[in-house]
Amino acid sequence: MKKTAVREASVIHLRKSDTVNAVYDWVSSFVFATALVIVILTFFIRIVDIDGRSMMPTLFDKEKVVITNIVSTPENGDIVIISHGAEYEKPLVKRVIATQGQKLSIDFDKNTVTVDGKVLSEPYIRGKTTMEDGEIPSVIPKGKVFVMGDNREESSDSRGTRIGLIDEKNIIGKVRCVVYPFNEFRFVK
């Protein structure tokens, strides 16, 4: 009888030990997964709200986009998020038109943008490219980029003094895809 009681106590102890181990494994897996998600969202991707009409028809007001914020040099055609810093109330979303060292000219009469002697094909733009109050540099200075919105008539961008040329260090990421509203999910080019 004593042997049976000892066996039952051992079985109960093993069951408690198995339960404790299972709970520990579940909690440690949950903590690891949560930490991994936090690291990814902090250092690799972010979700940003689009505020305004300056990037229509590519991006629309109130959409949410995923950006990658892996350190990289902006390239022509990239749609980027620019930190608000001291100059702007909110982060800006614009398309990179020209980068450091590139020659830039805009013909406002013909509605064309030329970079390094080539007229850009811009099927994504809406409206006429109009002149603002800024000075368009003929060569983009080192560490700067020239940006414009796709909705040219409603975009404040590098054509004006309010925004002007953007310092590369103020670009916080490149837009990759629209994730909200869910039925509008798409990759962005």
Catalytically active residues are: 54, 94
- Full DSSP string of 18-48: HHHHHHHHHHHHHHHHHHHHHHHHHHTEEEE
Sequence length of the chain is 189
Q: Which residue has the tokens 């629309």?
A: 60
The CB density around residue 73, as the number of other CB atoms within 10 Å, is 10
Name the E strands within the chain.
Answer: 45-49, 64-68, 79-82, 92-99, 104-107, 112-115, 118-119, 144-148, 166-167, 171-180, 186-187
Give the other-Cβ count within 10 Å of 175's Cβ: 24
End-to-end CA distance of the chain: 77
